[in-house]
Amino acid sequence: MLVLVAPGQGAQTPGFLTPWLDLPGAAERLAAWSDAIGLDLAHYGTQADADAIRDTAVAQPLLVAAGLLSAAALGDVTPGAVAGHSVGEITAAAFAGVLDDTAALTLVRKRGLAMADAAAITQTGMSALLGGDPDTTVAHLEKLGLTPANVNGAGQIVAAGTLEQLAALEADKPEGVRRVVALKVAGAFHTHHMAPAVDALAKAAEDLTPADPRVTYVSNRDGQAVASGADVVSRLVGQVANPVRWDLCMETFQKLGATALIEVCPGGTLTGLAKRALPGVTTLALKTPDDLDAARELIAEHGAA
C-alpha cells in the first residue's frame, strides 16, 4: 500500500520551487493560486531569501502550494492513505478531496497569518532533539517549561517555547540527546502560545464546505484515521495549539500495511523519519522533477491498497 505524505514548516529552502515551474501548466496554476490568496507564490518560491520564506505567513502557503504542484505532476494517483506533518495536514486534506486546492490555500493563508500574529506576542521558537529516551526527554523539557510540540518518532522530539527556555535547553540537554538543532520556524507552534490562532482559524473554517475523505486520512493529532470531512477540518483548527504525534501516524501506516511512502515537495524530512521507524517500507522524497519517474515506478509497483 502506498502512503502519500506532506512535510511541515521548516522544509522550505530558497529557490526550491524553481524547477517545478518548468513543468506544463505549473506556472499558470501557481499564478491562479497567488491571485486567490493575495501572495506572490512564484516570487517566494524562486527568488526570495531564507529570511523571507521563514515568515510563517509566507512559508505555510508556499509549502502547501509546493505539495499540491508536485502531487499533480505525478498524474492520476490514488494512495491508500494520506497524512501531513503540521501544516502539511492541509495539503493532505486536499489530497484526500476534503478541500479543493483553492480552499486549501485560502485556509492555509489565513492559518499562516493567524499563527504569525500569535508568534509576535512573545519571542518563541522550536528546536529538534536527536537521540535519547522519549520519556526522559519529555520530563526534562517539562522541567524547563518547554512543550514537546512534535513527537516525531525515530529518536526525534521537537521542543517549543520561549527563546530563553530554548537557550536553557542548549545549555542543559536531556540525558542521551546527541544534538539540539534550532528549526527554521518563527514561533512555538503546536503549544499554548498559538491559542489566539485557534480562534482565528475556527472563524475561517466556517466558510468551508468539506467533503468526506475519499482515501484514508490519518490525523497527526493522534494517528487515527478520520472518516468525516467536518472532523478533519475541526482537527486542522485545534491542531494549531496541540502537539503533533507523527510517531503515532507512522504506527498507523504500519498497521494499514504500508509498503511504500512518497513525500511531496519539499521532501526529505518525513522520508528520513520513515527510513528509521518503518523498516521494509520503500521511501521516496520529491525534491525536484527529476524524482518524478522513480515516484511513478513506485506508484505502479505498490498501487493504491
Q: Which of the residues are catalytic? A: 86, 190
Question: How many whole angstroms from its chain centre is CA 144?
Answer: 26
| Antiparallel, parallel or unpaired: β 260-263 and 282-285 | parallel
Residue 12 phi, psi dihedral angles, 5° rounding: -75, 145
Written as nine digits, the cell of 164 is 530563553
For residue 65, the surrounding DSSP H or E stretch is helix 56-73
Query: In 3D, which of 70, 65, 72, 69 has the Cα closest to residue 90?
Result: 65
Start-to-end CA distance of the chain, whole Å, equals: 5
Instruction: Look at residue 251 and give its three-state secondary structure.
Output: helix
CA distance 53 to 33: 17
